[in-house]
Structures are given as C-alpha cells and as structure tokens.
Amino acid sequence: MSEINIQDIIKPENLVYEKTKLMTDKTLSYCPGCGHGTTHRLMMEVIEELGQENDTIGVAPVGCSVLAYEFMNVDMQEAAHGRAPAVATGIKRLWPDKVVFTYQGDGDLAAIGTAETIHACNRGEQIVIIFINNGIYGMTGGQMAPTTLPGMKTSTSPYGREIESMGNPLKITELIAQLPGTYYVTRHSVQTPAAARKAKRAIKKAFQNQIDGKPGLSFVEVVSNCNSGWKMDPVQSNTWMEENMFPYYQLGDIKVDGKLL
C-alpha cells in the first residue's frame, strides 16, 4: 500500500464536518470539557443555517463567556454584568427586523440581572436568551451562584450551600415561564452528541420564533458543567451533572408556543 499524504485527505468530497464560519478561529478561552464552546457552536450553526449572519446582533454577558464576542462571528455588544436583556431590548426596539440574542450565565442572568431578565421576559421582548446554568461562578474562581445546589461546595460556601442561611437554588426558568411575555421556554444540555442535537433543535426553534415575529421572548436554558469550578475532570463533572443537576433542573420543554406544558 502506498503512503497516504495529507493532500489526499483534505478534499471536498471527504468532508464530513465543517466548523461554521460564524465561529472565529480564535482559541476558545473555556476549560476543556466545558459546555460553553459547544453551545456557542450550536448557536452560530443555527444563525448560519437560518441565513441571519448579516442581520444578527448578539449581546455578551459578564462571566466565563464575557469574551463570547471574540468567538461569535456576528456583530456583538458586551454588556455590563446582568444588563444584557436591557441592552438587547434597546437594540431590538430600534431594529425590530434584526435578530437579537443575549448569551448569559447563571450569575449574570439569575442574580445581578434578575430584574432585567424578568422585565425583558415580562414585556415580551422579541429576543432570544440563551442561559448557561452551571451552578457556579466560573470566571471569578468558583463562588456560589443563585443556582448552586443545596450542599454544593463552592469557594463562598466551603462547607456546602446551607439553605437556611444561603437561600434556595433559583429555578429562574420555571419562574419566567409563568410570565405571559415568554413564548418558548425550554431546558437542555449539551454533554452528549444526542443532547447537543436536541439542544440545537431548541435553539433553532427559539431563533425561528423571533424571525417569524412570534409574540414573546424565547428562552433556552442549557444546564452545563464546570469541571474546574466543581473540581472534577470533565467526565466526572458530566456524570455529577446528570446525577445531581438534572433531577433539580429537569430537562425538557416548559412552555411551547406560548402555552405552559
């Protein structure tokens, strides 16, 4: 057998997967095994497939994904901590024909930005919110988040989250689903190819709702891992997520086409 050289392999007919051109070539700043990168890719694939590359404005948060604007190859604004839904409101109200999304973590969306989140949802802003919930503040070094599970150890709950003094984990997704302003509310994960494919379908539905001018906000929560913050390896963290996070934050649709399930 003659030796195969690289030029024989890189041929268009051999192509089985291509990175969407809506992801830049910049190396992701996320830890290996983290769900952020996968979710970024799914979103950008969806925007490309929907042909919205030139009509989309994204809003990045403060948190691990603060640099999302470096990886997502669409027009982007970097918002102050928690304010992304207000920023997106300002954009969408003045450019109603454009596609506008926010990408936010749990600290950003469900702690400091709770008011902005709830009121953007309640006004029924026609935007998409992608919410990454990994139960911890990743960027700042693993502090307790509003979504940290009971008993879960973080650097600010070193003996585990104590409900009596630290409060309960906030199911903000169920909360905003109650508001008449939300049109589509769903919860997914991206830790396996099958889960990622499902999540992508949900993300696509969310963006399609906006393009179709459906009345209300589409909200996709992605329950994710934080292996460095949780102090586990990526495989352990995914197992831990499945065993602990999923029972509390149950996957699946919560509200579809404006109707609670």
Partner 1 sequence: MGELKLMKGNEALAEAAIRAGVDGYFGYPITPQSEVIEYLMAEKPHERTGMVVLQAESEVASINMLYGGGGTGKKVMTSSSSPGISLMQEGLSYMAGGEIPCVVANIVRGGPGLGDIQPAQSDYFQSVKGGGHGDYRLPVLAPASVQEMSDFVPIAYDLAFKYRTPVLIVSDGLIGQMMEKVELFDQMPRLTDEEINEKYPWATNGKPVGKEKRVLTSLDLDPHKLEKHNFKLQAKYKKIEEEEVQFELIDCEDADYIIVAYGSSSRIAQKTVQLAREEGIKVGLLRPITLWPFPKKPIDDLVVKGVKGFLSVEMSAGQMVEDVKLTVRERTKVEHFGRYGGVIHSPEEVLDALKSKIIGG
Q: Catalog residues that contact partner 1 under the rule CB under 8 A.
A: 53-57, 59-60, 66-67, 69-70, 73-80, 83, 86-91, 93-95, 98, 115-116, 119
Nearer to partner 1, 23 or 149 (CB): 23
**φ, ψ at 217 (rounded to 5°):** -95, 140
Burial degree of 20 (CB within 10 A; 0-12, 13-18, 19+): middle
Nearer to partner 1, 130 or 223 (CB): 130
Q: How far is the CB of 91 from partner 1 (least distance, A)?
A: 4
Q: How far is the CB of 23 from partner 1 (least distance, A)?
A: 12
Q: Can you read off the two tokens belonging to residue 249?
A: 């934050």
Nearer to partner 1, 78 or 242 (CB): 78
Nearer to partner 1, 115 or 260 (CB): 115
End-to-end Cα spacing for the chain: 60
Q: How far is the CB of 56 from partner 1 (least distance, A)?
A: 6
Nearer to partner 1, 88 or 136 (CB): 88
Q: Distance between CA 28 and CA 144 in Å, rounded? A: 24
| Angle at alpha carbon of residue 130, lines to 199 and 166, rounded to 5° | 110
Q: How far is the CB of 167 from partner 1 (least distance, A)?
A: 22
Q: Distance between CA 206 and CA 106 in Å, rounded? A: 19
Q: How far is the CB of 96 from partner 1 (least distance, A)?
A: 9
Query: What Rg value do the Cα atoms of the chain yield, rounded?
Result: 19
Q: What share of the chain is helix, strand, coil (3-state, %, to 5)?
A: 40, 20, 40
